[in-house]
Structure 1
Amino acid sequence: MQADVPPREDLGRALCIITGASRGFGRTISKEVSRLVKPRSVLVLAARSGDDLRALQADLAASDAGGTGLVVHCVEADLGLKEGVESVIRASKEASSEDIDHLILVNNAGSLGDVSRYTKSFINMSEVDSYLSFNVSSAMCLTAGVLQAFPQRAGLKRTIVNITSLCALQPFPSWVLYCTGKAAREMIFRVLAEEEPDLRVLSYSPGPLDTAMQMEARTKTADPSLRETYSAMFSQGQLLTCEASCAKLMKVLLEDDYPSGAHLDVYDV
């Protein structure tokens, strides 16, 4: 970062849309963003679990953020379906106001997929299509829909965040669905950054987090070496907390000096 350009202290009066917001890293992002936006900002939180979303909404209302006029909208939606994507776009348009000066979309929703099998076992196209619909198509179509709903205008900054993984760059045996989905998503946002120079586009890799997905990884992964690696990381306390990784993501967004379209890893921040 240039020495004469200090980092921002907040994310502005924002409309922030977060997918997969009900638990894990998405829940932590929601809480951290709520502390960094100006009063009368709007959070649109999307996930498949309505109960978990409403619990998060109550937590935010009870926190300091609840006294700043923060508006929180919950959207119970399956992003693997066209109707789910459309419901998030519609809720975002309805929740927004004219004094919003920062649009933030965090494409966090995702799933590990079946890691108990190797590539040669995936002969069912509908199974693969279902995974890609939720993990790839939804992110692309939601991003496109949000950008159409909130076109470029004077005074509006637009930031698109893709929560990615080392798996977008490296092959992990028995993780063919996850690696494929993350690689495809990352390319979507690299292309978007080339096409839309006014956007700020970031793919952020949060690292190995101590979440339910990690528990699934160390118990169900077919590849023995990979399974043992994650089991050892867990037993040795090497998994990152969502809070620690999210703090670095917020630092990156506030400093805002990354090349648009970049892949940034938690260990590089």
Structure 2
Amino acid sequence: MPPAADLGRALVIITGASRGFGRAVAQDVSRAVRPGSALVLAARSGKELRALREELTESEAGRAGLKVEVVTADVGRTEDLEDLLRRSEQVFTEDMDHLVLVNNAASLGDVSRYTRDFTDPGEVDSYLSLNVSSALCLTARVLRAFPQRAGLRRTVVNVSSLCALQPFPSWVLYCTGKAARDMAFRVLAEEEPDLRVLSYAPGPLDTSMQVEARSNTADPKLKKTISDLSAQNQLLSCEESCSKLMKVLLEDRFTSGAHIDVFDV
């Protein structure tokens, strides 16, 4: 079966959309939805979000009627989740045939220390709240707000990482968070057979998080590996990786709940 030409007339909710991979997803999705679609973009940086909204509104898709809403939100805060959901419900129309949620918001965490150094439960809880609990709770809220019905496809994307599958010394928070998220979305796929669930690992991206990792990673061997990726021009651009994600979504042949790496596409 040939891949779909587009994502349909869709409501697409993207977290962490102001920069990096999330911004690339917003740009690609805007070109892959039909007129009458809406994007709801959330991030903590309101200024960058508003610049992105202006860019997309002035694009060919924007001129054709794409609606772009931005929500300055910390997805770890309940009141911000409620605001994001409220704005999504406001722009949803009954003639939309596809709901897409992209859980992209995440942080690297403190990679300057090893597992034995994390003795404060509050510090760990704070990290997991932003990187695991928020994605789980936002997904649950979105699915309840937009339940399964005839004529509506629903797709949930978890932006994952190789770190969900492999241990990286001094990256205990990041690896734990990504592994937990992958499992949460695998469980969701088992529970909701009518839902399309994908965990996509975008690969080593040329982003500010990569700069942070090169600067702060405690483990010397891992730090060298990360630095070599940059020095040898082996980092992927967000646009390169995002094009692979769009290919997977448009082909729609993945097993729901699967973890797919950019290098496997």
Alignment TM class, shorter chain as reference: over 0.9
Aligned to 1:262: 258
- Looking at structure 2, the residues matched to 51 and 146 of structure 1 have their Cα atoms a distance apart, in angstroms, of 25
1:99 aligns with 2:95: yes
Of 250, 253, 268 in structure 1, the residue corresponding to residue 249 of structure 2 is 253
Match of 1:130 among 120, 126, 132: 126
Matches of 1:230 and 1:63, distance apart in 2: 36
Cα deviation per residue 1:141-182 (whole Å; 9 max; x = unaligned)? 000000000000000000000000000001000000000000
Contact map agreement 2:162 2:201 (CA 8 A) in 1? yes
Return structure 1 stretches of 4+ with deviation > 3 angstroms.
none
Q: TM-score, normalising length from structure 2?
A: 0.99
Distance 2:169 2:261 in 1: 21
Pairs within 5 Å for 1:207-218: 207-218=203-214
Amino acid at match of 1:208: P
Counterpart residue number, 2:155 = 159
Aligned position for 1:235: 231
SS of the aligned residue for 2:240 comes to: helix
Relative to the length of structure 1, the TM-score reads 0.98
CA distance in 2, matches of 1:82, 1:218: 32
Deviations for 1:63-121, whole angstroms, at most 9, x for unmatched residues? 21221100000010111111121111111111111111000000000000000001111
> Which residue type is aligned with residue 39 of structure 1?
P
**1:52-131 equivalences in 2 (<5 Å):** 52-131=48-127
How many residue pairs align between the two structures? Answer: 265
Choose which of 190, 196, 205 in structure 2 pairs with 1:194: 190
Deviations 1:124-152 (A, max 9, x none): 11111111110000000000000000000
Amino acid at match of 1:96: F
Q: Distance in 2 between matches of 1:76 and 1:130?
A: 20
Letter in 2 for 1:254: L
Q: Give the distance between the partners of 1:178 and 1:68, measured in 2 at CA.
A: 40
Q: Please state whether the residue corresponding to 1:18 is helix, strand or coil.
A: strand
Aligned to 1:174: 170
- Following superposition, the deviation at residue 62 of structure 1 comes to 2.0
Q: Amino acid of the residue matched to residue 166 of structure 2?
A: Q
What SS does the aligned partner of 1:113 have?
Answer: coil
1:153 is aligned with what amino acid? Answer: R
Structure 2's unaligned 5+ residue stretches are none
**Alpha-carbon distance in structure 2 between the residues aligned to 1:84 and 1:208:** 29
Query: In the aligned structure 2, how far is the partner of 1:184 from the partner of 1:68?
Result: 40
- Amino-acid identity (%): 69
Superposition CA RMSD, Å = 0.6
Asked if structure 1 preserves the Cα contact closer than 8 Å seen for 2:57 and 2:67, the reply is no
Distance 2:59 2:215 in 1: 35
Q: By how many angstroms is 1:31 displaced?
A: 0.2
Listed as ranges, the gaps of 5+ residues in structure 1 are none
State how far apart, in whole Å, the 2-side matches of 1:88 and 1:66 are: 21
1-side partners of 2:138 and 2:223: how far apart? 33
SS at match of 1:126: helix
